[in-house]
Amino acid sequence: MLSYQYISKNKRDSWILIFSFLVVITILGYLFAYYFNNPGILYFAVIFSLCSALFSYYFADSVTLAVSKAQPVERSSNPQLYNIVENLCIAAGLPTPKIYIIDDPAPNAFATGRDPQHAVICYTSGILRRLDKTELEGVTAHELSHIGNYDIRLMTLVVVLVGTITLLGNMFLRTSFFGGLGGRRRGEDGNLALLLVAAGILLAILSPLIATLIKLAVSRQREYLADASGALLTRYPEGLARALEKISSDTAPLTEANNATAHLYIVNPFHQDNGEMAAQATANHGGRGWFSGLFNTHPPIAERIKRLREMNL
pLDDT of residue 108: 96
pLDDT of residue 96: 96
**pLDDT (tens digit, 9 = 90+) per residue, 153-166?**
877 676 666 666 66
Residue 265 above 70 pLDDT? Answer: yes
pLDDT band at 184 (very low <50, low <70, confident <90, very high): low
Query: Total structural domains in the chain?
Result: 1
C-alpha count within 13 angstroms, C-beta hemisphere, residue 255 = 7
185 Cβ neighbours under 8 A, 6+ residues apart? 34, 35, 37, 192, 193
pLDDT of residue 76: 93
User: Domain of 103?
Assistant: 4-309
Sign of CA dihedral 288, 291, 295, 296: positive
pLDDT of residue 280: 40
**pLDDT (tens digit, 9 = 90+) per residue, 205-233?**
666 666 566 656 556 678 888 999 999 99
| DSSP helix/strand/coil, 91 | helix
Residue 89 above 50 pLDDT? Answer: yes
Instruction: Indicate the residue type of 185.
Output: R
Tell me how far apart the alpha carbons of residues 241 and 237 are, in angstroms, rounded to a whole number: 6
245 flagged as catalytic: no
Residue 296 above 60 pLDDT? Answer: yes
Tell me what the mean pLDDT of segment 67-83 comes to: 94
pLDDT of residue 288: 46
Select the highest-mean-pLDDT range: 154-163, 185-194, 254-263: 254-263
Of 143, 238, 245, 310, the catalytic one is 143
pLDDT of residue 196: 61
Give me the helices (H) in the chain, please.
4-35, 39-67, 79-92, 125-130, 133-148, 151-178, 188-234, 237-249, 276-285, 287-293, 301-309
Tell me what the mean pLDDT of segment 250-269 comes to: 85
